[in-house]
Amino acid sequence: MASVLNVSAYLFTRVDDPHSLRPVMRESAVAAGLKGTILLAQEGINLFLAGDPRAVRGFVDALCSDRRFAELTTKESWSSRQPFGRMLVKVKREIIRMDHPMIRPDVGRAPAVDPVTLRRWLDQGRDDDGREVVVLDTRNAFEVDYGSFAGALDWRLERFTQFPDAAAAAAADLRGKTVVSYCTGGIRCEKAALYLREEGVEAFQLEGGILGYFEQVGGAHWTGDCFVFDEREAVGSDLAPRSALA
Protein backbone atom coordinates (compact mmCIF):
# COMPACT_ATOMS: atom_id res chain seq x y z
CA MET A 1 0.00 0.00 0.00
CA ALA A 2 1.32 3.45 -0.95
CA SER A 3 1.39 5.26 2.40
CA VAL A 4 4.39 7.61 2.05
CA LEU A 5 3.50 11.09 0.81
CA ASN A 6 6.00 12.65 -1.61
CA VAL A 7 5.80 16.38 -2.29
CA SER A 8 7.73 18.72 -4.54
CA ALA A 9 7.45 22.48 -4.55
CA TYR A 10 9.36 25.60 -5.40
CA LEU A 11 8.82 29.32 -5.21
CA PHE A 12 10.82 32.23 -6.54
CA THR A 13 10.65 34.74 -3.71
CA ARG A 14 13.13 37.08 -2.07
CA VAL A 15 14.99 35.38 0.82
CA ASP A 16 17.54 37.70 2.41
CA ASP A 17 18.76 35.27 5.08
CA PRO A 18 19.05 31.75 3.57
CA HIS A 19 22.05 30.86 5.75
CA SER A 20 20.28 31.65 9.01
CA LEU A 21 17.10 29.96 7.79
CA ARG A 22 18.88 26.72 6.91
CA PRO A 23 19.42 25.22 10.44
CA VAL A 24 15.93 26.22 11.58
CA MET A 25 14.32 24.56 8.59
CA ARG A 26 16.43 21.41 8.92
CA GLU A 27 15.66 21.03 12.62
CA SER A 28 11.95 21.34 11.94
CA ALA A 29 12.02 18.79 9.09
CA VAL A 30 14.06 16.26 11.08
CA ALA A 31 11.77 16.65 14.10
CA ALA A 32 8.83 15.82 11.83
CA GLY A 33 10.57 12.63 10.62
CA LEU A 34 10.88 13.89 7.06
CA LYS A 35 13.55 13.07 4.51
CA GLY A 36 14.45 14.76 1.26
CA THR A 37 16.19 17.91 0.06
CA ILE A 38 15.49 21.60 0.51
CA LEU A 39 17.45 24.17 -1.48
CA LEU A 40 17.53 27.78 -0.32
CA ALA A 41 18.86 30.83 -2.15
CA GLN A 42 18.23 34.53 -2.19
CA GLU A 43 15.93 33.92 -5.18
CA GLY A 44 13.70 31.38 -3.39
CA ILE A 45 13.16 27.79 -2.26
CA ASN A 46 13.02 24.39 -3.95
CA LEU A 47 12.05 21.27 -2.00
CA PHE A 48 11.46 17.54 -2.32
CA LEU A 49 10.14 15.86 0.83
CA ALA A 50 8.63 12.54 1.84
CA GLY A 51 7.19 11.04 5.00
CA ASP A 52 4.03 10.55 6.99
CA PRO A 53 1.23 12.51 5.25
CA ARG A 54 0.28 14.52 8.32
CA ALA A 55 3.91 15.37 9.05
CA VAL A 56 4.61 16.44 5.47
CA ARG A 57 1.50 18.60 5.21
CA GLY A 58 2.09 20.06 8.67
CA PHE A 59 5.62 21.07 7.72
CA VAL A 60 4.41 22.68 4.50
CA ASP A 61 1.60 24.51 6.32
CA ALA A 62 4.10 25.89 8.84
CA LEU A 63 6.41 26.94 6.02
CA CYS A 64 3.57 28.76 4.28
CA SER A 65 2.85 30.73 7.44
CA ASP A 66 6.02 32.67 6.60
CA ARG A 67 4.78 35.43 4.27
CA ARG A 68 7.75 34.87 1.94
CA PHE A 69 6.54 31.33 1.24
CA ALA A 70 2.77 31.92 1.49
CA GLU A 71 2.22 31.20 -2.22
CA LEU A 72 4.10 27.89 -2.17
CA THR A 73 2.03 25.09 -3.70
CA THR A 74 2.96 21.41 -3.64
CA LYS A 75 2.54 18.54 -6.08
CA GLU A 76 1.77 15.25 -4.34
CA SER A 77 2.42 11.61 -5.21
CA TRP A 78 2.68 8.40 -3.23
CA SER A 79 5.05 5.48 -2.68
CA SER A 80 5.11 2.44 -0.42
CA ARG A 81 8.58 3.24 0.96
CA GLN A 82 10.63 6.30 1.82
CA PRO A 83 12.42 7.34 -1.42
CA PHE A 84 15.06 9.48 0.31
CA GLY A 85 17.95 8.37 2.50
CA ARG A 86 18.36 11.50 4.62
CA MET A 87 17.24 15.07 5.19
CA LEU A 88 19.39 17.75 3.52
CA VAL A 89 18.98 21.52 3.59
CA LYS A 90 21.45 23.40 1.39
CA VAL A 91 22.11 27.04 0.57
CA LYS A 92 22.87 27.68 -3.10
CA ARG A 93 23.56 30.69 -5.30
CA GLU A 94 20.45 29.76 -7.34
CA ILE A 95 17.69 27.24 -6.62
CA ILE A 96 18.07 26.21 -10.26
CA ARG A 97 21.37 27.21 -11.80
CA MET A 98 21.28 29.16 -15.07
CA ASP A 99 24.20 31.56 -14.53
CA HIS A 100 22.18 34.52 -15.84
CA PRO A 101 21.54 36.71 -12.79
CA MET A 102 19.37 39.13 -14.77
CA ILE A 103 16.73 36.40 -15.18
CA ARG A 104 14.71 37.00 -12.01
CA PRO A 105 11.39 35.14 -11.66
CA ASP A 106 11.17 36.44 -8.09
CA VAL A 107 10.76 39.94 -9.58
CA GLY A 108 8.33 38.98 -12.35
CA ARG A 109 7.20 35.72 -13.91
CA ALA A 110 6.74 34.93 -17.58
CA PRO A 111 3.13 34.25 -18.61
CA ALA A 112 1.97 30.71 -17.86
CA VAL A 113 -0.36 28.32 -19.63
CA ASP A 114 -2.35 25.86 -17.53
CA PRO A 115 -2.41 22.12 -18.35
CA VAL A 116 -6.02 22.09 -19.55
CA THR A 117 -5.32 24.90 -22.01
CA LEU A 118 -2.14 23.26 -23.27
CA ARG A 119 -4.01 20.03 -23.89
CA ARG A 120 -6.65 21.92 -25.86
CA TRP A 121 -3.96 23.64 -27.92
CA LEU A 122 -2.29 20.30 -28.65
CA ASP A 123 -5.65 18.70 -29.48
CA GLN A 124 -6.46 21.40 -32.02
CA GLY A 125 -2.91 21.81 -33.30
CA ARG A 126 -2.72 25.57 -32.64
CA ASP A 127 -3.25 28.11 -29.89
CA ASP A 128 -6.42 30.18 -29.50
CA ASP A 129 -5.08 32.79 -31.92
CA GLY A 130 -4.32 30.20 -34.58
CA ARG A 131 -0.55 30.25 -34.08
CA GLU A 132 1.66 27.18 -34.29
CA VAL A 133 2.42 25.75 -30.85
CA VAL A 134 5.91 24.45 -30.04
CA VAL A 135 6.47 22.53 -26.82
CA LEU A 136 10.06 22.90 -25.65
CA ASP A 137 11.64 20.47 -23.19
CA THR A 138 14.03 22.33 -20.89
CA ARG A 139 15.27 19.23 -19.06
CA ASN A 140 18.56 17.40 -19.47
CA ALA A 141 18.78 14.82 -22.25
CA PHE A 142 18.78 11.78 -19.97
CA GLU A 143 15.52 12.97 -18.39
CA VAL A 144 13.91 13.53 -21.78
CA ASP A 145 14.80 9.96 -22.73
CA TYR A 146 12.40 8.65 -20.05
CA GLY A 147 9.47 10.38 -21.73
CA SER A 148 8.30 13.65 -23.27
CA PHE A 149 5.46 15.39 -25.06
CA ALA A 150 4.99 14.03 -28.57
CA GLY A 151 6.93 16.15 -31.03
CA ALA A 152 8.60 18.25 -28.33
CA LEU A 153 11.69 20.26 -29.17
CA ASP A 154 14.69 18.71 -27.40
CA TRP A 155 18.07 20.44 -27.49
CA ARG A 156 19.91 17.50 -25.88
CA LEU A 157 21.08 19.60 -22.94
CA GLU A 158 23.59 18.11 -20.53
CA ARG A 159 22.92 20.81 -17.93
CA PHE A 160 20.57 23.75 -17.65
CA THR A 161 23.38 26.31 -17.92
CA GLN A 162 23.54 25.34 -21.62
CA PHE A 163 19.98 26.50 -22.18
CA PRO A 164 20.70 30.22 -22.86
CA ASP A 165 23.14 29.51 -25.69
CA ALA A 166 20.79 26.94 -27.22
CA ALA A 167 17.87 29.35 -26.97
CA ALA A 168 19.80 32.22 -28.54
CA ALA A 169 20.80 29.98 -31.46
CA ALA A 170 17.20 28.84 -32.04
CA ALA A 171 15.41 32.13 -31.37
CA ALA A 172 15.06 33.16 -35.02
CA ASP A 173 13.25 29.92 -35.87
CA LEU A 174 10.92 30.25 -32.86
CA ARG A 175 9.78 33.82 -33.43
CA GLY A 176 6.22 34.00 -34.71
CA LYS A 177 5.25 30.78 -32.91
CA THR A 178 3.78 30.15 -29.47
CA VAL A 179 6.43 28.35 -27.42
CA VAL A 180 5.50 26.50 -24.23
CA SER A 181 8.54 25.58 -22.14
CA TYR A 182 8.16 22.69 -19.72
CA CYS A 183 10.12 20.70 -17.15
CA THR A 184 9.41 18.29 -14.30
CA GLY A 185 7.83 20.62 -11.78
CA GLY A 186 8.01 24.05 -13.37
CA ILE A 187 11.19 25.54 -11.92
CA ARG A 188 13.40 25.35 -15.00
CA CYS A 189 10.72 26.49 -17.42
CA GLU A 190 10.13 29.59 -15.27
CA LYS A 191 13.61 30.83 -16.09
CA ALA A 192 13.53 29.37 -19.61
CA ALA A 193 10.40 31.27 -20.61
CA LEU A 194 11.81 34.53 -19.28
CA TYR A 195 15.03 34.04 -21.22
CA LEU A 196 13.16 33.21 -24.43
CA ARG A 197 11.13 36.39 -24.06
CA GLU A 198 14.37 38.34 -23.74
CA GLU A 199 15.23 36.83 -27.14
CA GLY A 200 11.97 38.07 -28.67
CA VAL A 201 10.13 34.72 -28.54
CA GLU A 202 6.45 34.49 -27.53
CA ALA A 203 7.14 32.04 -24.72
CA PHE A 204 4.97 30.66 -21.94
CA GLN A 205 5.77 28.31 -19.07
CA LEU A 206 3.67 25.22 -18.38
CA GLU A 207 2.08 25.90 -15.00
CA GLY A 208 3.05 23.13 -12.58
CA GLY A 209 5.32 21.40 -15.07
CA ILE A 210 4.91 17.80 -16.16
CA LEU A 211 3.75 16.64 -12.74
CA GLY A 212 1.05 19.30 -12.68
CA TYR A 213 0.00 18.28 -16.18
CA PHE A 214 -0.27 14.62 -15.14
CA GLU A 215 -2.32 15.61 -12.10
CA GLN A 216 -4.81 17.67 -14.08
CA VAL A 217 -5.13 15.99 -17.48
CA GLY A 218 -3.24 12.67 -17.30
CA GLY A 219 -1.04 11.45 -20.14
CA ALA A 220 -2.66 13.10 -23.17
CA HIS A 221 0.02 13.85 -25.81
CA TRP A 222 2.67 12.37 -23.51
CA THR A 223 4.84 9.34 -24.33
CA GLY A 224 6.74 7.38 -21.67
CA ASP A 225 7.33 8.25 -18.01
CA CYS A 226 8.73 11.25 -16.13
CA PHE A 227 12.11 11.03 -14.42
CA VAL A 228 12.17 12.20 -10.80
CA PHE A 229 15.23 12.86 -8.64
CA ASP A 230 14.74 10.23 -5.94
CA GLU A 231 14.70 6.46 -5.56
CA ARG A 232 11.39 6.12 -7.38
CA GLU A 233 13.41 6.92 -10.52
CA ALA A 234 10.35 7.79 -12.59
CA VAL A 235 6.58 8.16 -12.38
CA GLY A 236 3.92 7.47 -14.96
CA SER A 237 1.13 9.78 -16.04
CA ASP A 238 -0.90 8.32 -13.14
CA LEU A 239 1.89 9.61 -10.81
CA ALA A 240 2.61 6.05 -9.67
CA PRO A 241 6.30 5.07 -9.23
CA ARG A 242 7.92 2.95 -11.94
CA SER A 243 10.57 1.42 -9.63
CA ALA A 244 10.64 -1.07 -6.77
CA LEU A 245 9.14 1.62 -4.54
CA ALA A 246 5.79 1.24 -6.32
Supply the pTM of this predicted model. Answer: 0.89
Do the beta carbons of residue 32 and residue 62 sit within 8 Å? no
Query: How high is the pLDDT of residue 246?
Result: 44
Q: How crowded is residue 23: how many other Cβ atoms within 10 Å of its Cβ?
A: 10
Query: How high is the pLDDT of residue 1?
Result: 66
Q: How crowded is residue 150: how many other Cβ atoms within 10 Å of its Cβ?
A: 11
Q: Which of 197, 88, 210 is nearest to 149 (CA)?
A: 210
Please write the tens of the pLDDT for every residue from 156-203.
999 999 999 999 999 999 999 999 999 999 999 999 999 999 999 999
Q: What are the residue ranges spanned by the domains of the chain?
A: 4-91, 112-235
Tell the CATH topology of 112-235.
Oxidized Rhodanese; domain 1 (3.40.250)
Low-confidence residues of the chain: pLDDT under 70? 1, 243-246
**Residue 143, CB-side half-sphere exposure with 13 Å CA sphere:** 22
**226 catalytically annotated:** no
Q: How crowded is residue 146: how many other Cβ atoms within 10 Å of its Cβ?
A: 16
Question: In the CATH hierarchy, which top-level class contains the domain 4-91?
Answer: alpha beta
